[in-house]
């Protein structure tokens, strides 16, 4: 797929200038991040907002948009002969910047002077909250702001403008997201084929990552490949799969333009689920449908989350693990015993899109507060949905022994949770499925051209596929 034209970047910057109105917008690109010594680096990942406005996928750049004088400059150093000897030929900084419609480049050392000049003229310097130590040091050098105060002093007008632009995906962005989702589906199909007794989690993760790398993609986030699915982010591969277990995969690709896919799958390690597992899996599919049936412009995502929570409490009551009114159980927060995270999150250039700019701004409307209550506090997305929003839907059902013990000891939600019966379920582990959605003008659709297995029959078929 072709990279975006320079007009895309010019239009994005022009829109940003209009929205913020005045001052100097400062963007710090990411540098190389050392693993254990300077030249042994992690996979390079550009900052997503830098990438969104400047397209440039190289380390060690910064950029400034002076709204008041309508100038745009990318700061960076040309490669030395040593760099080229070790890293190979690259176009000049000027050539790279021309591709995104910027003709003005300067050495990195000039950035401090540029910022100081703007400050001396009384211009507001807009910057984003830093999430890397190197940026905190850089901001301190440039602006004299203590790292501990930088997040609070970041520019709200810049954050809000960027969030609003990046939250609304364009058709060309959707194409890239769908390409990432398609590769993500292949990663999951590899896991369905690989999961069987005697195989290690690491071996499945290797198959999953092969499907990703071999299609010129990189992981959008660390792969979760585990038989301990009750741990929401289990990033270690420690176990060998055993008959009778549930294997959970949460994995996704980012395409070469860095747009992400994010999917989860749960499957039996044996050929079939046990009757108990199948019952919980099917209840989970019901919660998924309860959530997704409601997706449309104008519907708060919080509503979809609550629909899933109510459906979960109804199902748990039928099974005998909950009691009382399911609606009350859901709205009280008791549902979080089995579903302690949010229904989903925005997705785009970041798998949790713009989490570095603040979930409060990305997933919540202006003035809408995020709850601090266990369960509700993990709802990353709550706001009314709008056409162009791209997000995940990932309800799960988890039996977390430590949470069961803690809440039981604290007598939490004793009107709703049947603790005596729950004891026998402590070894169940957990399961979830996850798909990626786009809000359209009149509804919602699943992203991607390939279908990830969801029903029990589809799961069994995928396990047996060649
Ligand atoms: N895929 C990991 C997450 O959504 O947190
Ligand atoms: Mn996710």
pLDDT tens readout for residues 50-94: 999 999 899 999 999 999 999 999 999 999 999 999 989 989 999
Ligand showing the shortest atom-to-Cα distance for residue 394 = 2
pLDDT tens profile 194-228: 999 999 999 999 999 999 999 999 999 999 999 99
| Of 250, 247, 248, 253, the residue nearest 184 (C-alpha) | 253
How large a percentage of the chain has pLDDT more than 90? Answer: 97
Cα of 131 from ligand 1 centre, angstroms: 18
Please identify, by atom number, the ligand 1 atom nearest to the C-alpha of residue 341.
5
Cα–Cα distances in Å, from 455 out to 33, 236, 318, 451? 42, 28, 21, 11
Q: Ion ligand 2 — residues with CB under 5 Å?
A: 262, 392
Whether 1 has a pLDDT exceeding 90, the answer reads no
Distance CA 140, CA 132 (A): 13
pLDDT 10s digits, 107-122: 999 999 999 999 999 9
CA–centroid distance, 262 to ligand 2, in Å, is: 5
Please choose from 208, 219, 233 the residue to mutate so as to test ligand 1's pocket, defined by most ligand atoms within 8 A of CB.
233
Tokens read off for 317: 């009551």
Please tell me the number of the ligand nearest to residue 219's CA.
1
Q: Are strands 444-446 and 435-439 parallel, antiparallel or unpaired?
A: antiparallel
What is the Å distance from ligand 2's center to 392 Cα?
6
- Residue 402: which of 274, 273, 232 has the closest Cα? 232
pLDDT over 90 at 153, yes or no? yes
Give the number of the ligand closest to the Cα of residue 344: 2
Residue 71 CA to ligand 1 center (angstroms) comes to 38
Instruction: Identify the CATH class of 6-167.
Output: alpha beta
Q: Distance, CA 464 to ligand 2 centroid (Å)?
A: 26
Distance of CA 301 to the CA centre of its chain: 16
Which residue, 136, 248, 138, is CA-closest to 201?
Answer: 248
Is residue 2 predicted with pLDDT exceeding 90? no
CA 262–ligand 1 middle distance (angstroms): 7
Residue 444 Cα distances to 182, 293, 294, 299, 362, angstroms: 18, 9, 9, 11, 19
Q: Which atom of ligand 1 is nearest to the CA of 392?
A: 4
Mutate to test the pocket of ligand 1, among 250, 251, 355 (most ligand atoms within 8 A of CB): 250
pLDDT in tens, 444-459: 999 999 999 999 999 9
Beta carbons within 8 Å of 126's beta carbon, 6+ residues apart:
20, 23, 24, 25, 26, 155, 157, 158
Q: Dmax of the chain from CA atoms? A: 73
> Residues 240, 200: contact at Cβ < 8 Å?
yes
Shortest-distance atom of ligand 1 to CA 344: 4
Alpha helix (H) residue ranges in 365-454: 401-409, 419-422
Neighbour tally for 84: CB within 10 Å: 11
3-state secondary structure (DSSP) of residue 344: coil
pLDDT in tens, 423-444: 999 999 999 999 999 999 999 9
Average of pLDDT values for 289-296?
98
The whole-number pLDDT of residue 164 equals 98
Instruction: Enumerate the β-bridge partners of residue 167.
Output: none
Closest atom of ligand 1 relative to the 252 alpha carbon: 1
Q: Where are the domains of the chain?
A: 6-167, 171-464
Write the residue with the smallest CA distance to atom 2 of ligand 1: 250
pLDDT for the residue numbered 438: 99
- For 169-202, write each residue's pLDDT tens digit: 999 999 999 999 999 999 999 999 999 999 999 9
Lowest-confidence pick of 9-13, 21-25, 281-285, 462-466: 462-466
Atom index in ligand 1 nearest the CA of residue 220 equals 1
Cα dist from 402 to 408, 415, 423, 428, 455, whole Å: 10, 20, 11, 13, 30
> Ligand 1 test: best mutation among 223, 393, 394, 433, most atoms within 8 Å of CB?
394
How many A from CA of 222 to the centre of ligand 1? 9
Tell me the whole-structure pTM to 2 decimals: 0.97
d(CA 231, CA 349): 26
Q: How far is the CA of 394 from the centre of ligand 2 (A)?
A: 7
Report whether 72 contacts 19 (CB < 8 A). Answer: no
- Residue 329 pLDDT level (bands cut at 50, 70, 90): very high
Question: Which ligand is the nearest neighbour of the Cα of 235?
Answer: 1
Ligand 1 atom closest to Cα of residue 262: 1
State in Å: Cα 238 to ligand 2 middle: 22
Confidence band for 466, pLDDT divided at 50, 70 and 90? confident
Å from CA of 344 to ligand 2 middle: 6
Is the domain defined by 171-464 classed in CATH 3.40.50.410? no
- Look over the chain and give the mean of its residue pLDDT values, rounded to a whole number: 97
Ligand 1 binding residues, C-beta < 6 A: 221, 250, 262, 351
Cβ atoms of residues 157 and 20 within 8 Å? yes
Q: CATH topology of 6-167 equal to that of 171-464?
A: no
Distance CA 269, CA 278 (A): 13
For residue 220, the ligand closest to its alpha carbon is: 1
Residue 392: pLDDT band with limits 50, 70, 90: very high
């Amino acid at each position: 797929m072709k990279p975006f034209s320079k007009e895309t970047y010019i239009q994005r910057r022009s829109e940003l200038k209009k929205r913020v109105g005045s001052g100097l917008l400062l963007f710090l690109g990411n540098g190389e991040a050392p693993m254990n010594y300077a030249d042994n680096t992690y996979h390079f990942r550009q900052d997503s907002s830098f990438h969104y406005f400047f397209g440039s996928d190289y380390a060690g750049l910064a950029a400034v948009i002076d709204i008041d004088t309508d100038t745009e400059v990318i700061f960076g150093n040309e490669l030395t002969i040593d760099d080229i000897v070790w890293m190979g030929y690259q176009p000049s900084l000027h050539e790279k910047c021309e591709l995104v419609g910027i003709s003005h480049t300067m050495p990195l050392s000039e950035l401090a002077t540029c910022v100081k000049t703007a400050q001396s003229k009384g211009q507001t310097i807009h910057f984003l909250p830093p999430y890397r130590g190197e940026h905190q040091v850089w901001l301190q050098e440039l602006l004299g702001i203590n790292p501990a105060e930088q997040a609070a002093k970041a520019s709200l007008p810049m954050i809000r403008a960027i969030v609003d632009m990046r939250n609304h995906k364009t058709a060309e962005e959707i194409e890239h997201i769908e390409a990432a989702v398609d590769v993500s589906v292949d990663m999951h199909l590899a896991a369905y084929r690989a999961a069987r007794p005697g195989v290690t989690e690491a071996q499945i993760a290797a198959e999953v990552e092969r499907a990703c790398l071999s299609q010129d993609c990189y992981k959008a986030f660390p792969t979760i490949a585990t038989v301990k699915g009750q741990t929401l982010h289990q990033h270690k591969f420690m176990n060998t799969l055993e008959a009778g277990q549930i294997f959970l995969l949460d994995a996704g690709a980012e395409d070469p333009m860095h747009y992400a896919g994010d999917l989860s799958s749960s499957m039996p390690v044996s050929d079939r689920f046990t009757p108990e597992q199948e019952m919980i899996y099917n209840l989970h599919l019901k919660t998924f449908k309860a959530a997704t049936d409601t997706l449309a412009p104008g519907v708060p995502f919080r509503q979809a989350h609550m629909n899933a929570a109510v459906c979960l409490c109804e199902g748990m009551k039928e099974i005998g693990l909950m009691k009382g009114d399911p609606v009350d159980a859901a709205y009280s927060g008791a549902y979080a015993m089995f579903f302690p995270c949010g229904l989903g999150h925005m997705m785009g250039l970041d798998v949790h899109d713009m989490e570095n700019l603040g979930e409060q701004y990305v997933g919540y409307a202006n003035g809408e507060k995020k709850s601090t209550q266990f369960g509700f506090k993990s709802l990353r997305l709550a706001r009314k949905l709008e056409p162009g929003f791209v997000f995940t839907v990932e309800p799960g059902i988890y039996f977390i022994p430590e949470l069961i013990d803690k809440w039981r000891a604290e007598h939490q939600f004793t009107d709703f949770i049947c603790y005596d019966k729950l004891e026998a379920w402590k070894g169940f582990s957990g399961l979830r499925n996850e798909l990626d959605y786009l809000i359209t003008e009149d509804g919602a659709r699943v992203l991607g051209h390939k279908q990830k297995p969801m029903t029990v029959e589809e799961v069994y078929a995928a396990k047996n596929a060649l």
